[in-house]
Amino acid sequence: MSASAINANRRVGGHRSWIRQHAVSLAFLAPAAIWLLFIVVYPTIDTVRLSLFNESATRFLGLTNYKTVFSTDTILTAFRNNVIWVLIFPFFVTTFGLIFAVLTERIRWATAFKTLIVMPIVFSTTASALVWATMLDNSPQIGAVNAAVLTVSDWFNPPGAYPVSTTAGQTVADLVGSNSRAEKNSRIVSISSARAGGMINIGLEDVSPTTLTLLKAQDAVKPQPMSGAITGVVWRAFSPSDPTNKTDILPGELGLPLIRLSLVNSQGSTVATTTTTTSGQYKFSNVGAGSFFVELVSSNFSSGFTGISWLGGSSLTPVSGLGQTAQALLSVPLADMAMIITYLWIWAGFAMVLIGAGLASLNREVLEAARIDGAKEWQVFRRVTVPMLAPVLAVVFVTMIINVLKVFDIVLNMASGSSVNATPTLAVEIYNDGFTGGVHSGVSSAIAVILFLLVLPAMIMNLKRIKGV
Amino acid sequence: MLASFSVVGVNGAASASSSTKIGGTVSVWNEFSGAEATGFATALKPFEKKTGVKVTVRNIGSSGPTLIEAAVAGGKPPNIAAVPTPGSFDLLAAGKRLTPLKPILGSEVKNFSAGWNAAATYKGTLYGLWLDSSSKNTVFYNPAVFKAAGISSTPTTFEQMLSDASTIAQAGYTPISFCSGTAGAGWSATDLFQNLFVKLNGATAYNNLVSGKLSWTSSDATAAFAEYSSLLGTNGANVGGITNALGTDQLWPTCVNDVFPTSGSPTAAMVIEASFVEQTTPANYVGSDASSCTLTQTNPCYDYFPFPAPAGSKYVTNDQSSGDVAMLMTSTKASRALIQYLGSKQFATLWEEAPGGTITPNLSVPASALKNPVTASIVKNLNSATATVFSMDDEYGGTLEPEMWSNMLAWVGGTDTTAQFESTMQSETKAYLAANG
């Protein structure tokens, strides 16, 4: 009894002396600890509380918000995007960091190279996102990337004089006006046929007036019939003074210049080709026997390269025809890739610096020993450098997992009108649900709690590593 | 007799309060920025001078309602707050955070149409005052393009607009430049649906749909979708702009620039959006005389026509609008004087005359204060509405707002059928209202 009392006393006394011993350090720690309590611990606990209440935090709901999280397509989309980011980004950023770090050890101008690679880190993420969004713009007139593709594409697939606006859903069939019908492979063929000395006039509509101004089109004039030839005019069959009259060539209606025509015989094979004049006239001379049709060949209407929508909502996996939920889970938006590349550009330098530091502290003797033993440079790299760097690589990898789990600004700033619903990550979804529109904190907090739980293992892993290093 | 007596009484009180200096400060939280904020501040100056009250305006950005709720919870709400979300207004009124305005405003109440006052009323009590507004009942068009397509008068029915659209396509222009919205896309697509729904089924049915009393799977919603489909051109009608908006990155206000380009020629004829389109267009109004408008002029002509109701619609004068509603949150002598001033002719007229202007819901503003005949016509159109409804996404919060947008875009893009959209929306609305209703 007395012994235990003494023990207890000693314990209390020990405790007291521990406090006395550490009084100074505790005094120094206290402000930071209290500060953290307010800005980290309290918000964390309050977020958990909010996630159990309704949107205006007035009624307890239990786990309803968590059920909503896993049954709402927009949020499932965000989960999918986080998975895509985590699968791709940390691996590539570590790889690039390693390559750059090793390279900079052996090239001239290493400092200049390093500076270039590291520079994106000092730019604001929003600025980087906007610059890349402009470079990746789907119009070749704005986006540098599409402009480059356009230059190459024009060699193989030049646009026609009358490009159909495929992005607006226009087809060659929309152009059909008078005495014409759309045929497969984007051709337009006259309905009437003619023999030598005859005439075939073809009217088109839906022709952009801008195009006609560009081609300096003149008023359409019917040519005179010529013996031995087939003549005619291709014109824009639309007049504001009489919009419903498609058959007559009305005053003020323009001819269509530079249309490539083929003369097609009744077997369907081309016997001659020509091009219309500025007033839309054409002439096939020395036509043989039989009756012929006039064809407006498909190259007239080719829209050429209209730009890849890098930041659009199109999916790299085939998901069309699937339901909304299946799409939310399975599609891999092209825009995700564009954003990941931008993010790599930003963070590769950071990875390089960390790995470079690890590389500098490597024991050179081991590398020398390997070389003396006859190992080739590649073997030294693979069998010696990388294994010795493993702890640093792991720290970079795990840090980047945490980094992309909460990726936000780049996605918010790069998403375009057509991909804004396809690219949100969990962090963006927290913002969309919680901070735009009215008062609503429930579901948003639930996502935040889940995101916290997802980041936690990576964080613990990293803390352990740092302790170990 | 009694009525006239009370009017005199209130007027007397008002003049008494304005002749003596009140002093003190009033805090006002709102979401105005840019020209709006400057206009608002300009219009406040005479009040500050006359009463000696200092008005401190704080811009609370687009997450305003969240901040106001937080301030209320923290016990220190602003004196006056203005929000664009009717959902937040209802929530604050239901939570008894607001002061009834009828006794304070007195005769200024009559400066607003019955429709606007009804929209500021919660369970029979007036708690709000509409400061500015946007009419969503508008279709803006380029008169030069209409002329080039041979269209001499603006359409008065939805069907007529569709037939004009196909004529415009034949003339080589995109008939309707369709915006997919800003980041957070989808509001443009939902606005159009809401316009059709309210004209076909009326404001009561609309509000019942929002509050869950009317099912999304009802024939009312289906009828609106049927009209919407005909606009999208199910059978290859040439309204190419829609696909354009979904397929590429047609962000607001690019869609406006296609119709009213600052350089080059227009490629599209109409843009269906709210009256704020006017703020993004160059100020070159040529209304009645379209003959002088050309396709190549640097500041293109613009004009508008009211959103045409489908033929046979029963609720042609039921409109969709948006705006900012001011609420009195802490009642002091100074804040009561200010809210009364916010409802006055002087305030509304000064804001209207400030650069940028606004579409004022205040009926007492003289026509001479309005920027141009288009603005005047929109204001007239706005105030003649027999009932006003607000965008559903402003009424909803949480996940339902983005879900509705993404569902709508899935429907417009053809991923979802009408039946699929309706059943998804119905189950999501039900779940949302069960948790938050």
At B283 the pLDDT is 56
Q: Considering only CB atoms, which chain A residues are within 8 Å of B257? A: none
Please check the confidence at residue B202 and state whether its pLDDT lies above 60. Answer: yes
pLDDT in tens, A155-179: 888 889 998 877 666 788 888 889 9
Query: Which residue among B236, B238, B249 places its CB closest to the CB of A418?
Result: B249
Task: Show which of residues 316-375 on chain B sit within 8 Å of chain A, judged by CB atoms.
Answer: none
Structure tokens at A111: 């400092």
Domain count, chain B: 2
Rounded mean pLDDT of A398-421? 87
Please tell me whether residues B87 and B183 are part of one structural domain: no
Biggest distance spanned by C-alpha atoms of chain A: 135
**How big is the A-B interface in CB pairs under 8 Å?**
188
Please tell me whether residues B118 and B217 are part of one structural domain: no
At B18 the pLDDT is 46
CA of A48, closest CA in chain B: separation in Å?
A: 17
Please tell me whether residues B395 and B333 are part of one structural domain: no
For residue B382, being part of any structural domain is answered with no
Report the alpha-carbon distance of residue B394 to residue B274 in Å, rounded: 15
**CB contact set of B112 (below 8 Å; sequence gap of 6+):** B120, B129, B130, B343, B361, B362, B363
- Residue pair B173/B267 in contact (Cβ under 8 Å)? The answer is yes
Q: How confident is the model at residue B245 (pLDDT cuts 50, 70, 90)?
A: very low
Query: Which residue among A170, A418, A442 places its CB closest to the CB of B180?
Result: A418
Query: Which residue among B170, B248, B402 places its CB closest to the CB of A432?
Result: B402
Tracing tokens 């004529």 back to the chain, one arrives at: B167
Whether the CB of B236 is below 8 Å from some CB of chain A: the reply is yes
Please tell me whether residues B30 and B142 are part of one structural domain: no
Sequence letter at residue A288:
G
Please check the confidence at residue A357 and state whether its pLDDT lies above 90. Answer: yes
Predicted TM-score (pTM) of this structure: 0.79
Whether the CB of A54 is below 8 Å from some CB of chain B: the reply is yes
Q: Considering only CB atoms, which chain A residues are within 8 Å of B398? A: 55, 433, 440, 442-444
Whether the CB of A183 is below 8 Å from some CB of chain B: the reply is no
Rounded mean pLDDT of B376-382? 88
CA of B81, closest CA in chain A: separation in Å?
A: 14
Please check the confidence at residue A212 and state whether its pLDDT lies above 50. Answer: yes
pLDDT in tens, A32-43: 999 999 999 999
Report the alpha-carbon distance of residue B297 to residue B288 in Å, rounded: 17
For residue B345, being part of any structural domain is answered with yes
Report the alpha-carbon distance of residue A297 to residue B407 in Å, rounded: 41
Contact B397 A168 (CB under 8 A): no
For residue B218, being part of any structural domain is answered with yes
Please tell me whether residues B266 and B314 are part of one structural domain: yes
CATH number of the CATH domain containing B77: 3.40.190.10
Please tell me whether residues B153 and B176 are part of one structural domain: yes
Report the percentage of chain B scoring pLDDT > 70: 85
Please tell me whether residues B366 and B412 are part of one structural domain: no
Rounded to the nearest 10 degrees, how much is the dihedral formed by the CA atoms of A144, A147, A153, A155?
Answer: -120
For residue B11, being part of any structural domain is answered with no
For residue B376, being part of any structural domain is answered with no
Task: Show which of residues 352-411 on chain A sit within 8 Å of chain B, judged by CB atoms.
Answer: none
By CB neighbour count within 10 A (0-12 exposed, 13-18 middle, 19+ buried), where does B62 fall?
Answer: middle
Alpha helices by DSSP H, A123-179: 125-135, 144-156
CA distances from B251 to A175, B97, B402, B425 (A): 28, 38, 17, 25
Report the alpha-carbon distance of residue B145 to residue B297 in Å, rounded: 12
For residue B126, being part of any structural domain is answered with yes
Report the percentage of chain A scoring pLDDT > 70: 94
At A4 the pLDDT is 52
At A165 the pLDDT is 75
At A73 the pLDDT is 87
Task: Show which of residues 424-463 on chain A sit within 8 Å of chain B, judged by CB atoms.
Answer: 432-444
For residue B129, being part of any structural domain is answered with yes
For residue B411, being part of any structural domain is answered with yes
CA of B264, closest CA in chain A: separation in Å?
A: 9
Please check the confidence at residue B240 and state whether its pLDDT lies above 60. Answer: no
Please tell me whether residues B357 and B395 are part of one structural domain: no
Please check the confidence at residue A151 and state whether its pLDDT lies above 50. Answer: yes
Please tell me whether residues B70 and B109 are part of one structural domain: yes
Q: Look over chain A and give the mean of its residue pLDDT values, rounded to a whole number.
A: 88
Please tell me whether residues B76 and B181 are part of one structural domain: no
At B314 the pLDDT is 93
CA of A209, closest CA in chain B: separation in Å?
A: 6
Report the alpha-carbon distance of residue B44 to residue B351 in Å, rounded: 9
At A167 the pLDDT is 65
Q: Give B18 or B201, the one with higher predicted confidence.
A: B201
Report the alpha-carbon distance of residue A362 to residue A389 in Å, rounded: 8
Please tell me whether residues B203 and B254 are part of one structural domain: yes
Contact B436 A56 (CB under 8 A): yes
Contact B249 A65 (CB under 8 A): no
CA distances from A360 to A104, A115, A352 (A): 11, 17, 12
Whether the CB of B435 is below 8 Å from some CB of chain A: the reply is yes
Q: How confident is the model at residue A468 (pLDDT cuts 50, 70, 90)?
A: low
What SS3 class is residue B117?
A: helix
Whether the CB of B237 is below 8 Å from some CB of chain A: the reply is no
Domain hosting B101: range is: 25-133+323-371
pLDDT in tens, B314-341: 999 899 998 999 999 999 999 999 999 9
Tracing tokens 């509405």 back to the chain, one arrives at: B385
Please tell me whether residues B115 and B257 are part of one structural domain: no
Task: Show which of residues 130-169 on chain A sit within 8 Å of chain B, judged by CB atoms.
Answer: 137-138, 165, 167-169
Rounded mean pLDDT of A12-22? 75
Q: Considering only CB atoms, which chain A residues are within 8 Å of B250? A: 417-418
Please check the confidence at residue B248 and state whether its pLDDT lies above 50. Answer: no
Point out the least confidently predicted range of A405-419, B88-102, B282-296: B282-296
Look at phi and psi of residue A460 and say left if phi exceeds 0, alpha if psi is from -120 to 50, else beta.
Answer: alpha
Q: Give A323 or A42, the one with higher predicted confidence.
A: A42
CA distances from A361 to A352, A357, A366, B114 (A): 14, 7, 12, 78
